[in-house]
Amino acid sequence: MNDHVTPPDRRLDRRIPLGCAASILLREGRSVAAECIELSVSGMTLHAAYVPGELEVIDVAVMSPGAGLGRPPLVTRLKVTRCHAIGGGRYEIGGAITQVVG
């Protein structure tokens, strides 16, 4: 009998395409404009003119997709798992959400 339990594959989480405005909140108080391309329970994909370090943890604020809803942004802590150039000085950043901050 095999007692080993395989952890769930996080890529199986349903990913919701968004295209919402977002900001990468840097430690020194600066922010970098971004676009949240997709969001799931466990992670997100961003497009931004920012190159994070390998496994860097960044704070990301994702604005509400509905204009005029008056809702505060979703603020998460994201552990970067991938980053590649998409052209025009922009990068696709993917990562795992480690904490919902607000």
Res 12: pLDDT: 55
Domain 14-99 top-level CATH class: mainly beta
Res 27: pLDDT: 85
Classify 54 as helix, strand or coil.
coil
Domain boundaries, the chain: 14-99
Q: Let me know if 52 is exposed, middle or buried by CB neighbors in 10 A (0-12, 13-18, 19+).
A: buried
* Cα separation, 23 vs 36, whole angstroms: 9
Over 80: is that where the pLDDT of 10 sits? no
DSSP class of 55? T
pLDDT digits (tens, 9 = 90+) for 27-85: 889 999 999 999 998 999 999 999 999 899 999 999 987 665 678 899 999 999 999 99
Whole-prediction pTM value?
0.82
